[in-house]
């Protein structure tokens, strides 16, 4: 995130625009040791998705002779939340500490306009993209140097992974102040260019149980979560790093699916239980297993965050057949993102598992890939 800082500008009346990506965790975090600082119970590993298809975009303008802050999301004026206010304050404090902006600049009012090109709060990691984008823009506005993932984390935990592109690991850290709970890039997006992600959108409505509320209840009531964070995840993170390093798709696929299953098992172990998956999610899940069995190898993997939408992972050569399978099973006609030239569903792989067509339960599919992290797209010093 190298800033294009205008050293001659006073910083007043400046306009900065940034975009930030969605990320999808293949080893997930669920639960915190500190709610205020958003320090996770365990490490997590994610893939950053291309901003060509899923992105938050934030424009921030400083308002001289004012200390008011206004925030607009997707065309609607919103109240500043506690986490938004904290992210802004932390960026201002860091800019003063680094002496990259004057007190006058960091005290000036702000107009913040943000939008997502995908549904908000529907299990597509909108908060991760949104907070990463906000802090990225503030970093460039105030000229902050260095890693800001610890600041981003305090807005939305998983957002710190969207700071970086490619394959990212967020460490839980060991310090009580959370300063070592930061994200770092494991491998750039170019490391595994054949990897593709298909996002099967089952629901674009706001989920009933927010991630924040769900985590709190799980931490308070689930015995399985303790076993997961202390025993399972540490080894799984190391195994996942090796699978990604070697571009070992079968190992990557199994680890990803097992981790998704266990995450949702902890949600079911929560009292009262939390249900993020619906019947269509379950149908997609079993379709992947049936397809892999028919192929004789792990060819597609699924992962579900705190929502009903499926993230499917496969290699580029298999995308046409996976799209063909989704089309045959769910009657999907709306495929967005990267173009897929010819859908194909080979008889020996598809006829026995496509089953009877279930219509109108999948809204659309986004075909995308691993991409870059949060970045500046405009640095305007005009008033």
Q: Rounded CA gap, 158 and 42, in Å?
A: 12
Q: Which of 192, 222, 247 is the last residue of a domain?
A: 192
For the stretch 220-228, contacts whose Cβ atoms lie closer than 8 Å and that sit 24 or more positions apart, written own/partner, are 221/269, 221/270, 221/271, 222/266, 222/269, 222/270, 222/271, 223/269, 224/262, 224/265, 224/266, 224/269, 225/30, 225/31, 225/41, 225/266, 225/269, 228/42, 228/262, 228/263, 228/266
| pLDDT band for position 200 (cuts 50, 70, 90) | very high
How confident is the model over 12-31, as a mean pLDDT?
A: 94
For position 121, which CATH number holds? 3.30.230.10
Q: Do 120 and 57 sit in the same domain of this protein?
A: yes
Q: Do 209 and 123 sit in the same domain of this protein?
A: no
Distances in Å between the alpha carbon of 128 and those of 76, 146, 156, 301, 335?
19, 20, 6, 22, 24
CB 41 within 8 A of CB 27: no
Number of domains in the chain: 2
Q: Do 321 and 364 sit in the same domain of this protein?
A: yes
Within-domain flag for 164: yes
Within-domain flag for 218: yes
In degrees rounded to 5, what are phi and psi of residue 174? -130, -15
Query: According to the model, what pLDDT value does residue 149 have?
Result: 97
Within-domain flag for 148: yes
For position 352, which CATH number holds? 3.30.70.890
Within-domain flag for 375: no
Q: Do 333 and 225 sit in the same domain of this protein?
A: yes
Encode pLDDT of 308-352 as tens digits: 999 999 999 999 999 999 999 999 999 999 999 888 765 555 555
Q: Which of the two residues, 124 and 367, has the higher pLDDT score?
A: 367
Q: Do 140 and 171 sit in the same domain of this protein?
A: yes
Q: Do 64 and 141 sit in the same domain of this protein?
A: yes
Within-domain flag for 383: no
Q: Which residue intervals of the chain are DSSP H helices?
A: 82-98, 103-107, 126-142, 149-153, 211-221, 223-227, 233-245, 249-269, 279-295, 319-330, 347-350
Q: Do 242 and 138 sit in the same domain of this protein?
A: no
CB 41 within 8 A of CB 29: yes
Q: Do 236 and 346 sit in the same domain of this protein?
A: yes
Degrees (nearest 5) of the Cα angle 73, 76, 80?
A: 60
Q: Do 28 and 126 sit in the same domain of this protein?
A: yes
Residue 10 has pLDDT above 60, yes or no: no
- The whole domain housing 167 covers 15-192
In degrees rounded to 5, what are phi and psi of residue 163? -65, -35
Q: Do 216 and 183 sit in the same domain of this protein?
A: no
Q: Which of 166, 192, 218 is the last residue of a domain?
A: 192
Query: According to the model, what pLDDT value does residue 70 have?
Result: 97
Distances in Å between the alpha carbon of 252 and those of 38, 61, 166, 321, 367?
28, 43, 15, 20, 19
| 275 phi-psi bin (left φ>0, alpha ψ -120 to 50, beta other) | beta
Query: According to the model, what pLDDT value does residue 125 have?
Result: 61
Query: According to the model, what pLDDT value does residue 227 have?
Result: 97
Within-domain flag for 327: yes
Q: Which of 143, 173, 192 is the last residue of a domain?
A: 192
Within-domain flag for 379: no
Residue 26 has pLDDT above 50, yes or no: yes
Q: Do 286 and 339 sit in the same domain of this protein?
A: yes
Within-domain flag for 378: no
Encode pLDDT of 207-243 as tens digits: 678 888 999 999 999 999 999 999 999 999 999 999 9
Query: According to the model, what pLDDT value does residue 353 have?
Result: 61
Residue 291 has pLDDT above 80, yes or no: yes
């Amino acid at each position: 995130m190298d800033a294009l800082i205008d050293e001659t500008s006073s910083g007043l009346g400046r306009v900065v625009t940034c975009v930030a990506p969605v990320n999808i965790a293949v080893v997930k975090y669920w639960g915190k040791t500190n709610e205020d600082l958003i320090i996770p119970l365990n490490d997590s590993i994610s893939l950053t998705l291309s901003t060509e298809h899923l992105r938050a975009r934030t424009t921030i303008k400083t308002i001289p002779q004012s200390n008011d802050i206004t925030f607009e999301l997707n065309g609607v004026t919103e109240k500043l939340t506690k986490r938004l206010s904290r992210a802004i304050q932390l960026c201002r404090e860091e800019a003063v500490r680094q002496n990259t902006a004057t007190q006058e600049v960091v005290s000036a009012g702000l107009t913040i306009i943000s939008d997502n090109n995908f549904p908000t709060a529907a299990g597509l990691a909108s908060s991760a993209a949104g907070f990463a984008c906000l802090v990225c823009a503030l970093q460039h506005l105030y000229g902050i140097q260095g890693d800001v993932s610890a600041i981003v984390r305090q807005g939305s935990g998983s957002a710190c992974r969207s700071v970086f592109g490619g394959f990212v690991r967020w460490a839980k850290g060991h310090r009580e102040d959370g300063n070592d709970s930061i994200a770092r890039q494991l491998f750039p997006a170019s490391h595994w260019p054949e990897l593709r992600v298909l996002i099967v959108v089952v629901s674009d409505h706001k989920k009933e149980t927010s991630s924040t509320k769900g985590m709190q209840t799980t931490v308070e009531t689930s015995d399985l979560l303790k076993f997961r964070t202390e025993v399972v995840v540490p080894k799984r993170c190391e195994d996942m790093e090796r699978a990604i390093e070697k571009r070992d798709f079968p190992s990557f696929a199994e680890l990803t699916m097992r981790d998704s299953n266990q995450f949702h098992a902890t949600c079911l172990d929560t009292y009262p239980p939390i249900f993020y998956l619906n019947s269509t999610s379950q149908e997609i899940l079993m379709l992947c297993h049936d397809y892999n069995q028919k192929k004789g190898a792990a060819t597609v993997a699924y992962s579900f965050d705190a929502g009903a939408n499926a993230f499917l992972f496969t290699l580029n050569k298999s995308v046409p057949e996976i799209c063909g399978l989704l089309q045959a099973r769910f009657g999907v006609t709306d495929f967005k993102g990267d173009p897929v030239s010819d859908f194909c569903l080979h008889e020996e792989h598809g006829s026995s598992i496509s089953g009877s067509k279930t219509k109108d339960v999948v809204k659309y599919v986004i075909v995308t890939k691993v991409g870059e992290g949060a970045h500046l797209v405009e640095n305007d010093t005009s008033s």
